[in-house]
A and B are shown apart, each in its own frame.
Chain A
């Protein structure tokens, strides 16, 4: 009992113990706040979509236009697969497997790039543009906004991949991959919602 009391006394005799209001690291908290603001940005476009399609009752897609649902489905599969490779990359480095990390990040980057190129090709062949009514405007705004996010995600992935090949990450230090991975999965989640609402429903 006395030893316990002494141990507690020895433990600290300076200023009072700090209050840890959050156990989230600043980097993760920053990414979380950024994603929260992104959700609000996407939310504004989805609100416009809701008004155009539900409140105004605009046909979706407006005749005579058609949406390339199957190409977009293949693109969706590519993007979802890239989340698996991203997860694999992080799991690899957590086990100290540097080559697993490098291969995972490289595959994720290549699949993300494929998605973006396919979307660009789809835009060029789709047969309408932003001036062809509210339907077309909302289509390009939602898919284009997501495309911009994929581009940002690819930029982050590029930095991560270069750093991985320069030997910057280890089983103990891989925070850069963790944060980039959260963003990439968020981009994927947003695409699932965009694809479902714009192309399928």
Chain B
């Protein structure tokens, strides 16, 4: 069954269906009360049927695949850094590992509540791209405003063998309790 409030466009379309249904019910009830009741039942069933037979967007799409350009056997590292980090040093012998730099878009409570996180995402993007440019075979990833959530999201797209945390003991401890792969400090 399709969720009628999945997106703004679908909610708008649902509003149109509700208006049409309401007009039918009012018109029928004007003629006869029981006709109005019958129209109400038909309208509810009709809208329900319409939603049920509508295809769910994306349901038939193939599952997203993990992306990697590295050959088999390559060590894969997820590097987590706070916004504003300018450089980071960690063991990546000869730059042989594939690295994804994750920077969470840390926002204040007010920014998170009001959805005003665009500036924070821009900060995170700047940091992630700066760090990725300094490291061989690395690319940037902008995460959610919660660092642990950002790492979990990144792991869904990048199957890392190891997580390296730049500069935050507490975050490293939180990650150790949430993931099964090794977590180390930069």
Chain A interfacial positions (CB closer than 8 Å to B): 9-18, 20, 23-24, 27-28, 31-32, 35, 80, 83, 86-87, 90, 159, 163, 168-169, 173, 175-179, 181-182, 185-186, 188-189, 192-193, 196, 200-201
Contacts of A31 in B (CB 8 A): 5
Contact (Cβ within 8 A) B156 A18: yes
Contacts of A168 in B (CB 8 A): 116, 118
Contacts of A181 in B (CB 8 A): 8, 11-12
* Interface 1/0 per residue, B42-65 and A, CB below 8 Å: 000000000000000111010111
Contact (Cβ within 8 A) B71 A189: no
Contacts of A182 in B (CB 8 A): 5, 7-8, 11
Chain B interfacial positions (CB closer than 8 Å to A): 3, 5-9, 11-12, 14-15, 18-19, 22, 25-26, 29, 36, 57-59, 61, 63-74, 76, 114-116, 118, 121, 155-161, 181
Contact (Cβ within 8 A) B26 A200: yes
Contact status of A23 and B65, CB under 8 A, knowing A32-B6, A181-B11, A185-B15: no
How far apart are B164's CB and chain A's nearest CB, in angstroms? 15
Contact status of A12 and B8, CB under 8 A, knowing A17-B63, A159-B114, A201-B26: no
Contact (Cβ within 8 A) B6 A24: yes
Besides A169-B118, A182-B5, A186-B5, 7 more A-B contacts (Cβ < 8 Å) are A10-B71, A11-B68, A15-B181, A176-B116, A182-B7, A185-B14, A189-B15
Subset of 8 A-B contacts with CB under 8 Å: A14-B66, A14-B159, A17-B65, A90-B9, A168-B118, A176-B116, A182-B11, A189-B14
Contacts of A32 in B (CB 8 A): 3, 5-6
A18 to B65, CA, bound (A): 9
Contact (Cβ within 8 A) A10 B64: no
Of the candidates A10, A13, A163, the one whose C-beta lies within 8 Å of that of B116 is A163
Contact (Cβ within 8 A) A196 B118: no
Contacts of B76 in A (CB 8 A): 14
Contact (Cβ within 8 A) B63 A20: yes
Contacts of A35 in B (CB 8 A): 5
How far apart are A91's CB and chain B's nearest CB, in angstroms? 8
How far apart are A96's CB and chain B's nearest CB, in angstroms? 16
A169 to B115, CA, bound (A): 11
Chain B residue nearest to A16 in the complex (CB): B159
How far apart are B70's CB and chain A's nearest CB, in angstroms? 8
